[in-house]
Amino acid sequence: MLDAAPTPLVQVQDLKMHFPIYTGLFRRHTGDVKAVDGVSFDITAGQTLGLVGESGCGKSTVGRAMLRLYEPTAGRVVIDGDDVATLTAEALRKKRPTMQMVFQDPQASLNPRMTLAEIVSEPLEEHTNWTRDQKLERVYELMDQVGLNRRFVNRFPHEFSGGQRQRIGIARALALKPRFIVCDEPIAALDVSIQAQVVNLLEDLQEKLGLTYLFISHDLSMVRHLAQRVAVMYLGRIAELSPSKDLYARPLHPYAEALLSAVNEPDPELAARRNRIILKGDVPSPANPPKGCNFCTRCPKVMDICRTVKPDLLEVEPGRLVACHLYTAAGSTGASEANERNQQGEDQ
């Protein structure tokens, strides 16, 4: 992340993913849903970047566009030296083993008519010419790695619990020894007591296999636990990208601040004392985002400039990128207000 750091494994530059809207009798192209609108970040090898935001902010779309499950509208996605966004079909197929995905809903992402062995060995089927025995051996090895009993190898997905199904999904993602895994809300569908099991497994695997994660989640406390750096997204753009410890100690972007203050702490004493920032209204439609800053319709600190000019994601403190006029010279009163805010943050 700083100059001294090694080249990142994953670099995303100005990624855009627009979904066209066709209307009328002639299905004319009348607009775009700007699900992802110019997102840039990078991830150092062996680290985890948390991508947080509310539903509809485009965080899952970023993950999918990065692995080219969607065709990105614009931008570069360099993973381990290759620009995935522009690879030809054949080159992309060869590239797939290095980048994998763990999906949110283990119920929906596993074929109910395939056994565990078939599910986990399907990637091997596609990308290797191993014999049956070699493949089965690898399946067993993966089952050990993710903590599934070898006896379950011929069972079907419905015979497993939610947590076990997610382990199958993880085993499948690991089958081809990837370097980079997009975890798209992997624990959202699981019970609290099971979530910790899966998160610990992901951490163990990262340590053992040197994996790099993009961890997409709306669970801010879990992201704090897992990620070294966190990107907060709002309406298709990154509002703040900071090292995890800085973000949680003192969020700079007003949206990041509101989002963190909305998280419920399991502590009644704290809950009674805390001053929450309650945002008014709902997220605008990504088909018709506000003209200026995407957050200007709900921002408690909105200024005139926010309604006309989109702020760029700039480094305002070492390692901390924020897209907000409060922190740039352009926001006339920005500097003083920002200082005030910082002091408040430190007081707490």
Q: How far apart are CA 44 and CA 67, in angstroms?
A: 17
Query: Contact 49/215 with Cβ under 8 angstroms?
Result: yes
Question: Which x/- pattern, by CB under 8 A, does the window 119-148 give for another protein?
Answer: ------------------------------
Q: Is 221 in the site for another protein (CB under 8 A)?
A: yes
Q: Is 195 in the site for another protein (CB under 8 A)?
A: yes
Interactions with another protein, residue window 21-40 (CB under 8 A)? none
Q: From the CB of 308, what's the least distance to another protein, in Å?
A: 25
Q: Is 91 in the site for another protein (CB under 8 A)?
A: no
Q: How far apart are CA 306 and CA 311, in angstroms?
A: 8
Contact segment (CB under 8 A) with another protein among 14-22, 30-38, 129-137, 193-201 equals 193-201
Q: Is 276 in the site for another protein (CB under 8 A)?
A: yes
Q: Is 224 in the site for another protein (CB under 8 A)?
A: yes
Q: Which of 199, 293, 299, 323 binds another protein (CB under 8 A)?
A: 199
Q: From the CB of 339, what's the least distance to another protein, in Å?
A: 23
Calculated CA dihedral for residues 5, 6, 9, 10, nearest 10 degrees? 40
Q: From the CB of 244, what's the least distance to another protein, in Å?
A: 8
- In 3D space, the residue among 158, 166, 161 whose CA is nearest the CA of residue 106 turns out to be 166
**Smaller CB separation from another protein, 135 or 250:** 250
User: Residue 124 is encoded by which pair of tokens?
Assistant: 């091997």
DSSP state of 311: P
- In 3D space, the residue among 4, 3, 30, 33 whose CA is nearest the CA of residue 18 turns out to be 33
Q: Is 159 in the site for another protein (CB under 8 A)?
A: no
What residues does 231 pair with on adjacent strands?
51, 241
3-state class (DSSP) for residue 45 = coil
Identify the H or E element spanning 17: strand 10-23
Q: From the CB of 247, what's the least distance to another protein, in Å?
A: 11
Contact segment (CB under 8 A) with another protein among 18-26, 134-142, 218-226, 288-296 equals 218-226
* Paired sense of beta strands 48-52 and 212-217, if any: parallel
Q: Which of 10, 49, 260, 323 binds another protein (CB under 8 A)?
A: 260
**Smaller CB separation from another protein, 98 or 294:** 294
Q: From the CB of 47, what's the least distance to another protein, in Å?
A: 15
User: Residue 129 is encoded by which pair of tokens?
Assistant: 């010419």
Per DSSP (E only), the strands in 114-204 are: 180-184
Q: What share of the chain is helix, strand, coil (3-state, %, to 5)?
A: 40, 20, 40
Identify the H or E element spanning 233: strand 229-234
Interactions with another protein, residue window 277-316 (CB under 8 A)? 278-279, 282
Identify the H or E element spanning 101: strand 99-102
Size of the site for another protein (CB under 8 A): 41
Q: Is 347 in the site for another protein (CB under 8 A)?
A: no
- In 3D space, the residue among 193, 194, 208, 243 whose CA is nearest the CA of residue 223 turns out to be 243
**Smaller CB separation from another protein, 55 or 131:** 55
**Smaller CB separation from another protein, 76 or 224:** 224
Q: Is 275 in the site for another protein (CB under 8 A)?
A: no
Q: How far apart are CA 263 and CA 338, in angstroms?
A: 23
Per DSSP (E only), the strands in 106-157 are: none
Q: Is 6 in the site for another protein (CB under 8 A)?
A: no
Identify the H or E element spanning 226: helix 220-226
Contact segment (CB under 8 A) with another protein among 3-11, 42-50, 148-156, 243-251 equals 243-251
Q: Is 339 in the site for another protein (CB under 8 A)?
A: no
Binding site for another protein (CB under 8 A): 54-55, 161, 163, 191-197, 199-200, 203, 218, 220-222, 224-225, 244-245, 248, 258-271, 276, 278-279, 282
